[in-house]
Amino acid sequence: MTDQMRVMPKPANDRPEPEAAASPPSRPVPGAPHLPEISMSTISMDRMTNVALARLTAGLSPLALSAAYLDWATHLAFSPGKRLELVRKAQRKAMRFAHFAGQCLQSGGAGECCIEPLPQDKRFSDPAWHQPPFNLIHQAFLLTQQWWHNATNDVRGVARHHEEVVSFVARQMLDMFSPSNFIATNPLVLRATIEQSGFNLVNGWRNFIEDWERAQLGKPPAGAERFRVGENLAVTKGKVVLRNRLMELIQYAPATEKVYAEPILIIPAWIMKYYILDLSPENSLVRHLVEQGHTVYMMSWKNPGAEERDLGMSDYLRLGPAAALDAISRIQPGSQVHAVGYCLGGTLLSIAAAQMARDGDERLRSITLLAAQTDFSEAGELMLFIDEAQISFLEDLMWEQGYLDTKQMAGAFHLLRSNDLIWSRLVSEYLLGQRAPMIDLMAWNADATRMPYRMHSEYLRRLFLNNDLAEGRYEVGGRPVALTDIRAPVFAVGTVWDHVAPWRSVYKINLLTDTDVTFLLTSGGHNAGIVSEPGRKGRRYQVIHRDADHPFRDAERFVGETPVQQGSWWPVWREWLVRRSGEMVAPPPLGEALADAPGQYVFG
């Protein structure tokens, strides 16, 4: 690594790294819009007002929502043609429903449905929903849902972001009042209540009380106590060989007599604990790689508190990938590294790789991006929570407490998948009285982390809001970095049902780099799609390779023309790594051991 990369100087607008912040910073976060010169007491008054409001709204800005609804309602009011179209649609849907009801009366039971739910909507899949009167109830709901989709979309003049917000909120409200969520209108709940003489509701009440108590006491969900880090999670043997203010670097012990010369460095996201890639022994990606002859290093991020409030993206870059690569160079001098970044860790790796390429540092042999975005212009439904009003609202909340709390982040992610994470759980655990068995991935998901004030503000503004990395404005060391400078081959993985990093957004790495890119699309979501060990049933993937001088193929052509293959993507990736690895050699020595894996920071 060059001297510039080792020192990793901060941009001119970055402050020196503080040991601790005794009080909130008195100036705005870099990248925030310029504020007129008004008294700090006035700014503090505004901020405290927003903080009080944020505690009532789980960090969601009512002002951002109001602006979206005002935009939509005003344009709809001045669109008589659109309103007439909605009246006609309502009439046609009423006629379709009346025809369906008539069929049901004539047949004495079920008729041919007038509307089908979306493929991912499993609420009404049970045959009981096709028996009267529940067939009429759920068909009326789906028709209403479809009408509101028409009402909130394609209103001329409405800003696209506002249209998406209004449509999303309307969908959330309708999902709240779905007939599947109520005892009297859900045939499965009614049947269970009759058969169990109401004991399903008694059990559901117990489940609710237990969950409420755990939430109030800050305890993990029921059943998570069976999974303990260092006992049956994150048990791959290794040593902590580096510790700094932000991360611990774990070097895993070899499991084979010889190993590939080039080690693997995994950079997880700091929004999650690292051990998602080292869960139970049977689905641990780390264990899989070690057993296949790879030397693996893993970064374990510290869970930040108020004392880390002023650490920014440059600090995460300097104390994260740069420090880890320097440590690996000391342990294995002269070795190139296969770098792997997951989610935010992949975005950080992309920035680091672009800087290294700019500065002539050639230590990266390859780059793997797991569900990681480098272009944020189409970052999916998460963008619903990203605009100036919402970010300012969050900044005020973080300014007061020094970080964004896990519960405040969880609310937004749960809304993105409310049917799966909220309402289906309400029906299963509270109305049917059934506890879903806790698995290691669910236990890990409950072990969330916080986000420092400054870093999260910079991340939201510079990457999500301004898209600086993709557009060549992201600065490291006072100069912009460009992904087109990267020459190391790239392996990028997207997942079909990813609500955090939509695969079409991940696919844009093909547009942003001038190097060889292998893109693989796998089944599953942001987490379950990545944790996809060989042998798991139902896994499938599509994979395509593009040389640096090969014409670009758009995402839709890729999906339509690339054959679907069955199985886990892990072996495909490992073969790609092996082709880019050198000879097998004796395992490298372990670095200076500070502690046994999984280290200290994972328990924070």
Does residue 35 have a pLDDT over 70?
no
Angle between helices 199-217 and 187-195 (to 10 degrees): 110
Together in a domain, 380 and 471 = yes
Among 426, 449, 472, the domain-final residue is 449
The mean pLDDT value of the chain amounts to 89
C-alpha distance from residue 284 to each of 228, 288, 315, 527 (Å): 15, 6, 29, 13
pLDDT of residue 412: 67
pLDDT-based confidence at residue 37 (cuts at 50, 70, 90): low
pLDDT tens sequence across 86-140? 999 999 999 999 999 998 888 877 778 889 998 888 899 999 999 999 999 999 9
Among 392, 425, 449, the domain-final residue is 449
Q: Which residue has the higher pLDDT, 22 or 226?
A: 226
pLDDT tens sequence across 170-182? 999 999 999 999 9
Displacement of CA 235 from its chain's centroid (Å): 25
Which of 20-24, 482-486, 532-536 is predicted least confidently?
Answer: 20-24
**What's the predicted TM-score (pTM) here?**
0.88
As to burial, measured by CB atoms within 10 angstroms (0-12 exposed, 13-18 middle, 19+ buried), residue 422 is middle
Token code pair at residue 394: 């969050």
Q: Is residue 45 part of a domain?
A: no
pLDDT-based confidence at residue 408 (cuts at 50, 70, 90): low
Together in a domain, 191 and 301 = no
pLDDT-based confidence at residue 4 (cuts at 50, 70, 90): very low
Residues 6 or more apart whose CB falls under 8 angstroms from that of 197 comprise none
Does residue 543 have a pLDDT over 70?
yes
**C-beta separation of 598 from 229 below 8 A:** yes
Together in a domain, 308 and 430 = no
Q: What is the mean pLDDT of residues 291-312?
A: 96
For residue 343, indicate whether it is catalytic. yes
Together in a domain, 510 and 433 = no
> Which residues are 233's β-sheet partners?
229
Report how many domains make up the chain.
3
Q: What is the mean pLDDT of residues 35-56?
A: 69
In sign, the C-alpha dihedral spanning 387, 59, 400, 37 is positive
Q: Is residue 297 part of a domain?
A: yes
Does residue 337 have a pLDDT over 50?
yes
Does residue 383 have a pLDDT over 70?
yes
pLDDT of residue 599: 97
Q: Is residue 227 part of a domain?
A: no
Q: Is residue 230 part of a domain?
A: no
Together in a domain, 439 and 455 = no
pLDDT-based confidence at residue 34 (cuts at 50, 70, 90): low
> Which residues are 251's β-sheet partners?
239, 297
Together in a domain, 560 and 522 = yes
Together in a domain, 415 and 465 = no
Q: Is residue 278 part of a domain?
A: yes
Does residue 322 have a pLDDT over 90?
yes
**C-beta separation of 516 from 490 below 8 A:** yes
Listed ranges 112-121, 237-246, 393-402; the one with the highest mean pLDDT: 237-246
Together in a domain, 209 and 187 = yes
Report cis status (omega within 30 of 0) of the bond before 598.
Answer: yes
Does residue 50 have a pLDDT over 90?
no
Q: Is residue 388 part of a domain?
A: yes
Domain that holds residue 353: 238-405+451-603
pLDDT-based confidence at residue 22 (cuts at 50, 70, 90): very low
Together in a domain, 418 and 491 = no
How many Å apart are CA 327 and CA 322, to the nearest integer?
Answer: 9
Q: What is the mean pLDDT of residues 203-220?
A: 92
pLDDT-based confidence at residue 149 (cuts at 50, 70, 90): very high
Q: Is residue 393 part of a domain?
A: yes
- What number of CA atoms fall less than 13 Å from residue 561's CA on the CB side? 7
Dump the DSSP string for 74-87: HHHHT-HHHHHHHH
Report cis status (omega within 30 of 0) of the bond before 133.
Answer: yes
Together in a domain, 434 and 367 = no
Q: Which residue has the higher pLDDT, 546 or 108?
A: 546
Q: Is residue 8 part of a domain?
A: no
Together in a domain, 140 and 272 = no
pLDDT of residue 62: 85
pLDDT of residue 27: 45
Ramachandran class of 533: left when φ > 0, alpha when ψ lies in -120 to 50, beta otherwise: beta
Displacement of CA 121 from its chain's centroid (Å): 21
Dump the DSSP string for 468-521: TTTTT--EETTEE--GGG--S-EEEEEETT-SSS-HHHHTTHHHH-SS-EEEEE
pLDDT of residue 100: 92
What CATH number has the domain bearing residue 568?
Answer: 3.40.50.1820
> Which residues are 45's β-sheet partners?
none
pLDDT-based confidence at residue 413 (cuts at 50, 70, 90): low
Counting every residue written for the chain, the total comes to 604
pLDDT of residue 414: 66
C-alpha distance from residue 125 to each of 60, 130, 131, 434, 540 (Å): 33, 9, 12, 19, 24
Together in a domain, 211 and 243 = no
